[in-house]
Amino acid sequence: MTAEITEITREEHIVYRKTPALTGNVMHYCPGCSHGVIHKLVAEVIEEAGIRDKTIGVSPVGCSVLAYNYIDIDWAEAAHGRAPAVATGISRLHPEKYVFTYQGDGDLASIGTAEVMHACNRGENIVIIFVNNAIYGMTGGQMAPTTLVGQVTSTTPRGRDVKLNGFPMKITELLAQLDGTTYVTRQAVHTPPAIRKAKNALRKAFENTKKDKGTSFVEIVGTCSSGWKMTPVEANRWMVENMFPKYPLGDIKDI
Amino acid sequence: MAKYRGAVIVDAERCKGCNLCVVACPAGVLTLAREVNGKGYHYSEMARPEECIGCANCGLVCPDAVITVYRMNTKQ
Ligand SMILES: Cc1ncc(C[n+]2csc(CCOP(=O)(O)OP(=O)(O)O)c2C)c(N)n1
Ligand code: SF4
Ligand code: SF4
Ligand code: SF4
Ligand SMILES: [Mg+2]
């Protein structure tokens, strides 16, 4: 290191570093996986709000099943798709806590459709974080309800065919129709401005819990470069070109 | 000329060589090293440290939170 760099890299000049709410365990995610960025944002929001000892997460089945190893708060792990039901129980027993679920698209929009619909319809005072990477990442890249028309996955090797597989499901728009949801938004984490916006959305969702406003639902469109068989940089580009037209970013409901 | 000088420290052993920080840097500071870390990843490093403005874009996009960003006001 040159003397100049030693001078710049002094403690008092730090403008960005890993938040202390991350445990420091090396994440098992593939290189470039959006789950890592999203974990970081959730941890930063919790740390900055000073609610680490008041927050309980519910992790899913999917690549993020081990989220409890990475964010240093209390956690429960739910059976596949059942995180909103588990979060309902925790939140009703501990109304003073900030309770959130963290779920993939296979977990939330496939096997867990009933649980998320009814938790949102009851307006449970929880935050639901929905990571939509249009695929089952964990199990080897099978088609998810959110997989795009024509998208190649291990179970749609010739591309998703609507005759055979139905249409991509915009579950976030469906949930916005329910009276129990107060804030429904779709975000992404592919660029610094998008990351800042996604963090603001997560912060707002947790603030809604404090105000007892009902269910806040934050979808984050993300990449699964392993499942999509691309580099992380190519995956971000593919997401912008193909995912965003079907899953446009922005607030869907805010009351 | 620059008012701010920046620098980054990458925890090379924890870097997964995803390249997201390299493309997010507006100043072309970062590159993936020719060498690999203990896990076999070409880790990110400053190839042109003198260009760094400390904007923290690289830190924001890093999924593994392995970048610490520093910024110093040089007009003090
Ligand atoms: C009851 C049950 N059915 C099926 C599975 C297999 N399984 C594990 S993860 C998963 C889907 C994961 O996809 P997603 O929720 O999108 O998470 P990602 O890995 O993409 O983040 C499935 C079907 C299981 N573990 N349990
Ligand atoms: S399989 Fe996909 S979702 Fe899972 S860690 Fe790898 S890139 Fe991320
Ligand atoms: S702080 Fe900004 S200029 Fe410096 S390496 Fe990171 S992205 Fe590049
Ligand atoms: S974004 Fe992080 S993990 Fe990826 S290459 Fe850069 S420092 Fe390494
Ligand atoms: Mg998925």
B15 neighbors B44 (Cβ within 8 angstroms)? yes
- The band of B76, judged by pLDDT with boundaries at 50, 70 and 90, is low
Q: How far is residue A146's CA from residue A134's CA, in Å, rounded to a whole number?
A: 5
Tokens of A164: 């055979």
Q: Residue B66: give its domain's CATH number.
A: 3.30.70.20
With beta carbons less than 8 A apart as the criterion, state whether A247 and A186 touch: yes
The 10 Å Cβ neighbour count of residue A143 is: 23
Q: Per residue in A171-215, pLDDT tens?
A: 999 999 999 999 999 999 999 999 999 999 999 999 999 999 999
Q: How far is the CA of A250 from the centre of ligand 4 (A)?
A: 27
pLDDT at A3 over 90: no
**pLDDT at position B11:** 98
Q: Is the pLDDT of residue B2 over 80?
A: no
User: What count of other Cβ atoms lies within 10 Å of the Cβ of residue A30?
Assistant: 19
Q: Give the mean pLDDT of chain A.
A: 98
Residue range of the domain that includes B66: 4-73
Binary contact (A16, B60; C-beta < 8 A): yes
B19 touches chain A (CB under 8 A): yes
Residue range B30-36: average pLDDT?
Answer: 98
The set of residues, in sequence order, having a beta carbon less than 8 Å from that of A81 and lying 6+ positions away, is A60, A61, A103, A107, A108, A110, A111, A112, A113, A115, A116
Phi/psi zone of residue A131: left (φ > 0), alpha (ψ -120 to 50 degrees), beta? Answer: beta
pTM: 0.98
User: Which positions in chain A touch B66 (Cβ < 8 Å)?
Assistant: 18
Query: According to the model, what pLDDT value does residue B75 have?
Result: 76
> Which residues' Cβ are closer than 6 Å to ligand 4?
B 10, 15-21, 44, 61-62, 64, 66-67
Listed residue (A7, A1, A9, A32) closest to B8, CA to CA = A9
**What is the per-residue pLDDT for B1?**
57
| ipTM score of complex | 0.96
Task: Give residue-wise pLDDT tens across range B55-75.
Answer: 999 999 999 999 999 999 987
Query: Average pLDDT, stretch A230-239?
Result: 98
Residue to mutate (ligand 1; options A28, A103, A107; most atoms within 8 A of CB): A107
Condensed to tens digits (0 to 9), the pLDDT of residues A158-181 reads 999 999 999 999 999 999 999 999
Q: Whose CA is nearest to atom 1 of ligand 3?
A: B54
Give the architecture (CATH level 2) of A28-136+169-221. 3-Layer(aba) Sandwich (3.40)
Tokens encoding A88: 């309902």
Question: What average pLDDT is seen over chain B?
Answer: 95
Whole-angstrom Cα distance, residue A126 to residue A38?
Answer: 18
The domain total for chain B is: 1
Parallel/antiparallel/unpaired status of strands A98-104 and B4-10: unpaired
C-beta of A61 in contact with ligand 1 (< 6 A): yes
| Cβ <8 Å between A31 and B41 | yes
Please provide the size of chain A in residues: 255
Summarize pLDDT for A236-245 with one digit per residue, the tens.
999 999 999 9
pLDDT (0 to 100) of residue A154: 98
A60-92 pLDDT, tens per residue?
A: 999 999 999 999 999 999 999 999 999 999 999
pLDDT at B3: 83
Cβ atoms < 10 Å from Cβ of A250 = 9
Report d(CA A42, CA A35) in Å as an integer.
Answer: 10
Nearest protein CA to atom 2 of ligand 4, as residue: B62
